């Protein structure tokens, strides 16, 4: 909004320069709420100022279709999140121009691991089959991953709504006492338990910082010890996606839709817990209420998982564990990722004793 204008009510044009964006977004938001009903209004807005976060969602605007713009989008989004905006996103592949296939595929991974995901461009289509078969495979893989992560992601969205903590967080938000996290701008936390480091160059190498503890690659199961910098190579169908130490990550059973009953056949992917740990995992409903809460504790090596409102079947995957000693309330089986324990009929508590004292 220009500042060399006269407002009908005498408002200061300098102050209205930013506030106009909020009024504009509110006008559209209020209309959507009137037409769609309470709780069903949402924007995908570009302009904003303080307070506009109540009319979600926002995106980074019309960036170029390059690796540099991909990095700029991440940097700007982390700044926006640190300013109190819970949801932000970007156009997968960039907006202006046409990305080459490598830019598109790398951006797909970044885009599907964002709060909202959109294929959109100015002068060319962003459908994956316009690039090559590998682009279709990459998009399919990360779309399925996001669908299965929905119990976790939707709870992160619920937290953003309730507390203002953004879904996509600058590292310093989660690790304020780690001085190495103060200026990181090429990686982020997606919710509280997933570290994402997009590949932002044409090569396969990516360097990122790992805070203290033993982190686990979600896609490969390999472990990484921090604190320190790590350099890895990743194919176009991969990127550093690490699970925080001691996490209990809920995985949904549906990979072809984002809206389903997140309790149905949910799998709690459990990463090594310290003795004395207690982790609460909340499973939301698609409407934003609490469907179930799982409590996972570990004492003297014995792990106990309790749920207040079980929906059978439900599972616990002990990631990286080769064998367990005894299971009360469920049946264990071996998988390539670890021991999977399936709760028995009517079970609301699983007790898992380690194989080795």
341: left (phi over 0), alpha (psi -120 to 50) or beta: beta
Beta bridge partners of 351: 304, 328
Beta bridge partners of 96: 64
CA distance 83 to 109: 25
Class of domain 13-163: alpha beta
Tokens of 18: 């930013």
Helix (H, G, I), strand (E, B) or coil at 340: strand
Cβ count near 169 (within 10 Å): 21
Do the Cβ atoms of 343 and 330 come closer than 8 Å?
yes
Domain boundaries, the chain: 13-163, 168-243, 248-354
| Cβ atoms 217, 242 nearer than 8 A | yes
Of 268, 306, 264, the residue nearest 286 (C-alpha): 264
Please say whether the beta carbons of 292 and 309 come within 8 A: yes
User: What is the C-alpha separation between 54 and 297, in angstroms, rounded?
Assistant: 36
Q: Whole-angstrom Cα distance, residue 193 to residue 195?
A: 7
pLDDT computed for residue 1 by the predictor: 83
Cα(174)–Cα(156) distance, integer angstroms:
13
d(CA 262, CA 149): 10
Q: Give the tokens for residue 130.
A: 């316009």
Q: Fold for domain 168-243?
A: Immunoglobulin-like (2.60.40)
Q: Name 92's Cβ contacts closer than 8 Å, sequence gap at least 6.
A: 104, 107, 108, 110, 111, 112, 117, 118, 119, 120, 126
Same fold, 13-163 and 248-354: no
**Which pLDDT score, from 0 to 100, does residue 357 have?**
61
pLDDT value, residue 312:
78
Give residue 304's Cα distance to chain centre.
Answer: 27
Q: Which residues of the chain have pLDDT under 70?
A: 357
Q: Which residues of 21-36 are buried (b: 16+ CB within 10 A; e: fewer)?
A: bbebbeeebeeeeeee
What's the confidence (pLDDT) of residue 61? Answer: 87
12 φ, ψ (degrees, to nearest 5):
-70, 115
Query: Measured between alpha carbons, how far is 87 from 131 in angstroms, rounded to an integer?
Result: 29
pTM score, two decimals? Answer: 0.94
pLDDT for position 46: 87
DSSP for residue 53: G
CATH of domain 248-354: 2.60.40.1180
């Amino acid at each position: 909004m220009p500042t060399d204008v006269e407002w009908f009510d005498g408002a200061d044009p300098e102050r209205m320069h930013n506030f106009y964006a909020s009024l504009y977004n509110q006008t559209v938001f209020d209309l959507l709420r009137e037409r769609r009903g309470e709780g069903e209004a949402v924007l995908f807005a570009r302009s904003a100022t303080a307070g506009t976060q109540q009319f979600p969602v926002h995106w980074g605007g019309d960036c170029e279709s390059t690796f540099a713009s991909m990095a700029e989008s991440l940097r700007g989004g982390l700044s926006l999140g640190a300013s109190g905006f819970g949801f932000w996103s970007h156009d997968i592949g960039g907006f202006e121009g046409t990305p080459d296939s490598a830019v598109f595929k790398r951006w797909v991974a970044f885009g599907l691991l964002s709060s909202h995901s959109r294929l959109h461009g100015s002068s060319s289509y962003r459908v994956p089959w316009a690039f090559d078969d590998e682009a279709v495979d990459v998009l399919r893989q990360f779309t399925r991953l996001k669908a299965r992560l929905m119990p976790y992601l939707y709870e992160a969205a619920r937290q953003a709504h309730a507390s203002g903590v953004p879904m996509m967080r600058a590292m310093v938000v989660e690790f304020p006492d780690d001085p190495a996290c103060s200026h990181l701008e090429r990686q982020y936390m997606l919710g509280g338990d997933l570290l994402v480091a997009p590949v932002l160059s044409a090569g396969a190498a990516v360097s990122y910082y790992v805070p203290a503890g033993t982190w686990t690659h979600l896609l490969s199961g390999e472990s990484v010890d921090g604190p320190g910098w790590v350099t890895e190579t990743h194919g176009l169908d991969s990127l550093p996606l690490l699970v925080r130490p001691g996490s209990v990550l809920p995985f949904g059973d549906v990979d072809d839709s984002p809206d389903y009953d997140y309790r149905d056949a949910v799998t709690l992917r459990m990463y090594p817990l310290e003795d004395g740990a207690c982790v609460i995992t909340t499973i939301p409903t698609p409407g934003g209420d609490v469907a179930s809460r799982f409590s996972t504790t570990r004492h003297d090596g014995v792990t106990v998982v309790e749920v207040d409102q079980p929906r059978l079947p439900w599972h616990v995957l002990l990631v990286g564990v080769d064998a367990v000693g005894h299971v009360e309330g469920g049946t264990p089986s071996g998988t390539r990722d670890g021991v999977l324990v399936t709760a028995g009929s009517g079970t609301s508590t699983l007790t898992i004793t380690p194989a080795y004292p």
